[in-house]
Amino acid sequence: MTLFPEHGLSRSEIEAALDAASVDHDALRGGPASFSLEVDEDLQGVILHAFGRFLTHNAVFGESLPSLSTMEAELIAMAVEILRGGPEATGFVTLGGSESIFTALHGARTRARSRGHGPVYEVVCPETIHPAFAKACHYLGLDLVAIPPGEDLRADVAAMERACGPATIAMCGSAPQWPHHRFDEIGALAAVAVEKDLWFHVDACVGGYLAPFVAEAGWPIPDFDFSVPGVCSLSADLHKWGYAAKPASTVLFASEELAEFAKAPAVDWDCGVYVTPSVAGTRPGASLAAAWSVLRYLGRDGFVELARRTMTVRDRLVDGIDAIDGMSSRSTDLAMVIYGSDTLDTMAVGDAMEAKGWLVMRLIAPTPQLQLLVDRLSDEFVDAFLVDLEAAVAEVAAGRRSPEMQRASAY
């Protein structure tokens, strides 16, 4: 039997196969709705139209597609405005946070080389930094120096400062980091970087297109963007709380000079000079057009309203979890709920929630906890989650254990 068909299938056959394949995905509660983020019918229509209209467009040919090139320039200009860059700030649209992070660290290495630095290059980060930094360091030949966080699970600024040595070329912090959803002290870290003349990168892939609007909606958010002196570059994902279609991210720089360091080198070949701003050559114009459309369609007031709803949902979930006997939540700075138990098997609670159809993300350090990523979820969604969580807790209290706990009891 061969999987590749001898004769092409009909459109209806393909669509039926896709519909069948998506059943489990669509039924997973707390999954696509919260991780890919919920969009209403009108916004989804805007995204689908933009994506379909530019489906075959390749952004690498921006010079030949001036309308797409203009959208990209306007998208970066809006991103710079949202993240409070100065008149010299600029950036690139990328295919995701990993490429944005890679591009920024490439810029740090290029600048260090231009200053005669080397052959060893070190990047100092908290251990809670995204794994994409380890990947980028691996590919770029950089040594990642990962420092354990402080007791508050934020970057240990003093320890990171002590870790900087002659080989250090860059420091990084998160706004917020993924595991515990807390902002590192960006101002303090940037001040150290300025003092030591280091490239400082802020990973705002999670919070870049949410935190500014959460602040406008009235929740406390620390300064983390280009308003902080010393921030050289910043990564922010449009396909998270920018509500854009995947893949779409941005990497921004405080100045044109810094952006030049980050660009891929131009290559002379038989067709002329080949140059791209980052790693990717072919880039989907559809994603770029969809991201541009979302930012233009929602505007500042639309994003603020979405942020207000998101944080209201988070706070309601926290209150509901804390009201369940045996469960408690851990404080976060943005749109994630982290919860667990000091008296019950937290992982078994997660297993019970998965059995009820929920997507459960898990933390293993410093203590086992469960995660729920939230956005503007409906009241019915919140009610259903809390009802199922209470039932799951009751099951575990009655004797249900996680597979890990069952194995441990056998010894």
- Domains present along the chain, CATH in parentheses: 47-297 (3.40.640.10), 300-398 (3.90.1150.10)
Of 55-69, 117-131, 250-264, 323-337, the range with the lowest mean pLDDT is: 55-69
What residues have CB less than 8 Å from 303, skipping those under 6 apart?
209, 213
In the numeric block, the tokens 């706004």 are attached to 175
CA angle at 216 for the pair 44 and 76, rounded to the nearest 5°: 55
Of 5-14, 21-30, 224-233, 353-362, the range with the lowest mean pLDDT is: 21-30
What is the pLDDT averaged over residues 372-390?
88
Q: Does residue 314 have a pLDDT over 70?
A: yes
Q: What is the pLDDT of residue 59?
A: 80
What is the pLDDT averaged over residues 153-173?
98
Of 196 and 17, the one with more pLDDT: 196
Q: What is the pLDDT of residue 118?
A: 86
Rounded mean pLDDT of the chain? 91
Nearest partner of 135 among 284, 279, 317, 336, judged by Cα: 279
Of 147-151, 265-269, 365-369, the range with the lowest mean pLDDT is: 265-269
pLDDT tens track for 150-162: 999 999 999 999 9
> Which run of H or of E encompasses 202?
strand 199-203
- In terms of average pLDDT, the best of 22-26, 377-381, 387-391 is 387-391
Looking only at the bridges linking them, the beta strands covering 90-94 and 249-253 are: antiparallel
pLDDT tens track for 62-73: 677 788 889 999
What is the pLDDT averaged over residues 291-314?
95
Sheet holding 336-340, edge to edge: 328-330, 336-340, 369-373, 361-363
Percent of the residues in the chain that have a pLDDT greater than 70, as a whole number: 92
Q: What is the pLDDT of residue 404?
A: 54
Q: What is the pLDDT of residue 378?
A: 79
What is the pLDDT averaged over residues 319-348?
96
Percent of the residues in the chain that have a pLDDT greater than 90, as a whole number: 74
What is the pLDDT averaged over residues 302-315?
94
Q: What is the pLDDT of residue 335?
A: 93
- How many Å apart are CA 292 and CA 242, to the nearest integer? 10
217 contacts 376 by C-beta, under 8 angstroms: no
Q: What is the pLDDT of residue 38?
A: 59
pLDDT tier for residue 21 given thresholds of 50, 70 and 90 = confident
Q: What is the pLDDT of residue 401?
A: 64
**What are the respective helix, strand and coil percentages of the chain, to the nearest 5?**
45, 15, 40
What is the pLDDT averaged over residues 84-100?
96
| 280: amino acid identity, one letter | A
Q: What is the pLDDT of residue 37?
A: 53
pLDDT tier for residue 24 given thresholds of 50, 70 and 90 = low
pLDDT tier for residue 380 given thresholds of 50, 70 and 90 = confident
pLDDT tens track for 30-80: 543 344 455 688 888 999 999 999 998 878 776 777 888 899 999 999 999
Q: What is the pLDDT of residue 328?
A: 97
203 contacts 100 by C-beta, under 8 angstroms: no
Of 205-209, 333-337, 401-405, the range with the lowest mean pLDDT is: 401-405
Q: Does residue 392 have a pLDDT over 70?
A: yes
